[in-house]
Structure formats: C-alpha cells, structure tokens
Structure 1
C-alpha cells in the first residue's frame, strides 16, 4: 500500500475508535465539555474518510482530461475538512451556551478525564505521524488531517485540566465555559485550514517554495543566465508546477537555448525537495542587460560589465527584466 494511503487509513481507524471512547466518557459523566470533544470526533471521522478518497484520486496518473494530474483534489479535501471543523466549533459554542444557562448533572469526572486524556495522547501521536508523512510525500491532505488531530489533542488536554478543576472546585458552570473556549479554538483552526486551501484553489503562489527555488538558482547561476523573472510556483498535492522567464544571449541558437533550459530543469529537480514540472520561457537579451551580464568574450557587448544583480524575491518574481529595477 502507498505510504499516503496507509497513513490516512490509520488515521481513519484511530478516529473511529477514539470517537467511540469519547462517547463512552460522555455517557459516564454527562459532561457537556466531553460531549463537545466527542462531537468533534465525528468531524474527525468524516474528514479522514473524505481525505482517504481524495488521496486515492490524487495518486491517479495524469490523463487526457487532467493533464496536470489530480493533486488539486487534496486542496478541496482540506477545504471540506476546514468547513467541517468550523461547523463543529459553531455547534459546540451554541450548545455550550445553552447548557451554561440550563446546566445538567455531571458525575464520574475523573473517569472521563482518564479516557479523554488517553485519546488526546493517541491523537497527538497519530497527528505527528500524519504531518511527518505529509511533508515527506508533499500531501496537504495528510498535513491538514495531522494538524486537525493535533488540534483535537490540544483541546483534549485543555478539557482534562478543566475537568480536574471542576472536580476540585465544585464549580460546575466551568463545564460550559470550557466548552465555549474549546469551540472558539476549533473554529479558529478551521478558519486557518480554509484559508490555506482556498489560497491553493485560487492558484496562490507558494511563497516558501519560491524562496527555496530562488536560493537554488542564485547559488548555482551560470553566466549565460542573464536574469530570471516572473517566477511563480503552485503546488497541487504532490505535484509542483513552476513557470518563469529566463533571459539568455540573443545569439544562442535553438539547440543552445534548449540545453540551458534543460540545465535549469535538472538543477531544480536535483537540488529541490519536490519533483517539479517547469515551464520556462526564454527571452533574448537587450543592450540594456550588458551592464550586469557576465558572459565572457561576448562579441556583441555594448556596455562593460559593472555588477551582478543578486536574485531575490523582489526581482525574480516581477514580470520584467532586471535592468528595470
């Protein structure tokens, strides 16, 4: 089984088991705060099930109808998971507010705390495993599911502390207050996940990836690569797409241009952390490029070399040659 499918299947099985354990804790205690945690576990199960299906789609090879692959479905999966998390948080806040006004009887809190604490530890371990696997295999779905489980483990830890405080102080109204606090925390994390997935669905350039690529190009630049501009990167699941413009000497023939572009392609795929598909547009140099062009023995140079323009996020991402900076 593929590592991504294995990881999400483990997450799904664990989520089902922990959901059942949390509902057992709720029936033992009658605590609204524990019911809050159990209700969020339903979201965990639904999200993991949808994530499993999205990973199955994302691993399908490119075809005639999907020339860029199926990786973008992982962004949609993360969006759905964020929506589910946010809805769970909102429902929890309303339910907790009602129970704060009309409290119900709470009992066997320490038993409930033990169960919730155990589920929190397991969620944390599985969450770290999913995030590690997601980063290794460039899967936003696994990372999103892992962060969701870490969020759940943090809320469980806060819940355990709250349960102990309720038992020690006898302030049972804390049950509703804790639930509202956890609901707000859950809504915030759902928003962050939605924001990230929407950015990907809107083809928002991956700034961190662009920074890495700029460093690789700057550290390995060749004299014939006069400048690189209009560089953008989008990640669709495990698939990374980069396009940019490269200024080359205008007297290069098609074979030489092809070789230079192939060299850049190979550099990115060997030095970078992602398997990348590059779309490179070759621009001819202009006389205004001469002052920062390092080509040796150039027979058409019209101005002496003065200084190299270091490539950075400011000039590489703009759609203009560097002499306009």
Structure 2
C-alpha cells in the first residue's frame, strides 16, 4: 500500500499547485470559461484527498467488524469522485449557458491559454501514469483519479482552443459554446465513474477478472478436478474473493481433498494476476460424472470417458455439476 499512498499524495500536491495556477489564469483573463476549469480543479484536490484517506482505510487489516477487510471503501471514493465530476460538469454547462445572455469582457487570453495549456499537459501525463499504475496494482481508486485527471486535460484542451478562437476571431459566444460541449463530456465521465462504483458496491461480477481466473483453471486443469461449478466472485479493493464448488473423486480422503484445494488456491494466486481468496466447497463425484472424468485408473469408474467439457464462464458459474447441464 506504500506505492498507493505515494501516488495519491503526488496527485494531491500536484492538484493543489495546479489549482493555484488556474485561479491565477482566471484573475488575469476574467473568463468564465477559465473560472469553470479553475472551479473543477477544486474537485481534483477534494477527490484526491478523499482517495488518499480511502487508500489508508483499505490498507487496514481485517477485524471483527470487517471480516473481508476495508477494500470496499475504494468504491465509495470512486462514487464521490464521479459525483463531484458530474457536479462540476453541470456547473460548467449552467454558467456557460448564462454567459450567452450576459457576456463579460475578457482580456490577456494568450497568457491564460499558456497557463491552462501547461496545467493540462501536467494533468495528462500524471493521469496516464495513474491509470497505468492503477490497473497494475490494481487499485480502482488510483485508476479513477487518473481518469479524472485525463478528463481535466480534455477540459483544458477545450479551454485553450476556445481562448485562442476568441482571441483570433473576437467571437465571444464561442467561449460558451465550447465550454458547454466540454461540460457534457465531463458529465458523462462522472456518470461512468458512478456507474462503476455502484457496480462494485452491489457486487456486480467483474467478467474481465473472472474470465482470466476461469482461463487459468482451464489451462492448468488437473485430472483430479472433475468439474468446477457455482463460481461466484466479489472484489474488495485490490483483492478478489471467490466461492466455488469443486468436484473430486469420492474415494479421496480428507488429506487428499485438502491438498487439491490448496493447489487450486496457489495456482490462481500465482497465475491470475490478482490476490485471490478462495472458499471452495468440495463435492464427491457421482456415477453420472464418469463420461467426462479424466481420472486415470479410477477404481469406481462405471463407464469410459467419452466427452471433453471445456470450462467456460457459462459452465463454471452455473450451480450445477457438468452432467446436469
């Protein structure tokens, strides 16, 4: 978690410095468009501060009140960030619409454009870095904060274009038109972050991650693992919790069953790219399993193997043994 905290702290300090620069640009230009970008930078600082706190909470060990850890707080962080981005986008749209009817005198546009352009480049580089590290760690909070910064880069780009167009054409209403367009984009970005956070809080399946786990299980499947079914997954921060049923030969003793379960756990944690906690319920095989069982020299086989059943998302997530499908 040290790297998580370091990345968020860099984002927080950078956001605070860029906020000062953006408000400086506003005081120089008196542009409502610049003011909306400066106001949105406040969102960056607040969101980064809460993200830093959520990373701290997510790193706390499990306790009696939180037996699965504190990782879910990251989804609250993303929800707050998405909500703040959405509010900022709405404010930009409303203020820009207002300026259509009540335009203000603006000046020093080139200086303002240079300042805003510089802040946009810095946010873009930092945002790209945070998204890449957020996926690698993995941390939804860091990734969401990075996407927020990329959104701010788009805002700054639109702002620079608007300021330059106004400077060279003298058409004041372009300021409002472009800012409304950018505001709509920001609003949509906020919606996507909120949608993602709600999905996490509601334990919506992350099919990308589960698909990787199923692929690893299928590629390194042992003869002893007759089938896996009723697989369910929940994410808690950067950890994945999986419940599943594993069918094993019914003549295995308890020690052998325990060893097979450990092998599944170790293999997935080594190969799937995410820390995974397994809760595996073992089922004994039945005579109906023989036609797809690969177990060699089985003393209780009732019929030869005649079918190869590939483990797919659809098959392993059903609450049925493969012979029932």
* Normalised TM-score (structure 1): 0.97
Bigger shift: residues 140-149 or 235-244: 235-244
Runs of 4+ in 1 over 2 A off after TM superposition: none
Determine the C-alpha separation between the residues in 2 that align with 1:220 and 1:84: 45
Deviation string 1:100-149 (CA, Å, 9 cap, x unpaired) is: 12111111111111001000000011112222222232111111101100
Deviation at 1:302, TM superposition (A): 1.6
The number of aligned residues is 325
Cα pair 1:58 1:70 within 8 Å, conserved: yes
1:211 deviates by 0.6
The answer (yes or no) to whether the contact 1:210–1:231 under 8 Å persists in 2 is no
Name the structure 2 match of 1:152: 152
Structure 1 distance, partners of 2:157, 2:303, is 67
Deviation, 1:267, is 0.4
**Cα distance in 2, alignment partners of residues 157 and 95 from structure 1:** 19
Per the TM alignment, residue 311 of structure 1 is displaced from its structure 2 partner at its CA by 0.6
Check conservation: 2:154, 2:182, Cα contact below 8 A.
no
Tell me, yes or no, if structure 1 residue 247 matches structure 2 residue 262.
no
Partner of 2:191: 191
Contact preservation (8 Å) 1:3, 1:133: no
TM alignment of 1:44-123, pairs within 5 A = 44-123=44-123
SS in 1 for 2:244: strand
What is aligned with 2:27?
A: 27
Distance 2:271 2:208 in 1: 15
The structural deviation recorded for 1:94 is 1.1
Partner residue in 1 for 2:220? 220
Residues of 2 paired with 1:293 and 1:263: CA distance?
Answer: 19
Q: Does the 8 Å CA contact 1:79/1:193 hold for their aligned counterparts?
A: yes
CA contact (8 A) 1:130 1:143 kept: yes
Worse overlay, 312-321 or 110-119? 312-321
Number of the residue aligned with 1:231: 231
1:200 — aligned with what?
200
Partner of residue 269, structure 2: 269
Secondary structure of the corresponding residue to residue 214 of structure 1 = helix
Q: Which residue number corresponds to residue 211 of structure 1?
A: 211
8 Å CA contact retained: 1:32, 1:179: no
Secondary structure in 1 matching 2:234: strand
Contact 2:158–2:179 under 8 Å retained in 1? no
- Over the aligned positions, Cα root-mean-square deviation in angstroms equals 1.2
SS of 2:268's equivalent?
helix
Three-state SS of the structure 1 residue aligned to 2:307 is coil
Partner of 1:166: 166
Confirm whether residue 12 of structure 1 aligns to residue 12 of structure 2. Answer: yes
Asked if the contact 2:228–2:246 (Cα under 8 Å) also holds between the matched residues in 1, the reply is yes
Is the contact made by 1:129 and 1:146 (CA closer than 8 Å) also made in structure 2? yes
Query: How far does the alpha carbon of each residue in 1:207-230 deviate from its partner, in whole angstroms, 9 at most, with x for none?
Result: 111110011011100111111112
1:11-57 CA distances to partner (integer Å, 9 max, x unpaired)?
00110111111111111111111111111101111101111111111
> With structure 2 as the length reference, what TM-score do the two structures score?
0.97
Does the Cα contact within 8 Å between 2:231 and 2:245 map onto a contact in 1? yes
CA contact (8 A) 1:58 1:72 kept: yes
Aligned residue for 1:126? 126
| SS at 1:156 equivalent | helix
* Structure 2 Cα separation of the partners of residues 234 and 18 of structure 1: 37
Q: Is the 8 A contact 1:209 1:233 kept in 2?
A: no
Deviations 1:131-176 (A, max 9, x none): 2222232111111101100111122112211221121221110101
Give the whole-Å Cα distance in 2 for the aligned partners of 1:318 and 1:40.
46
SS at the partner of 1:302? coil
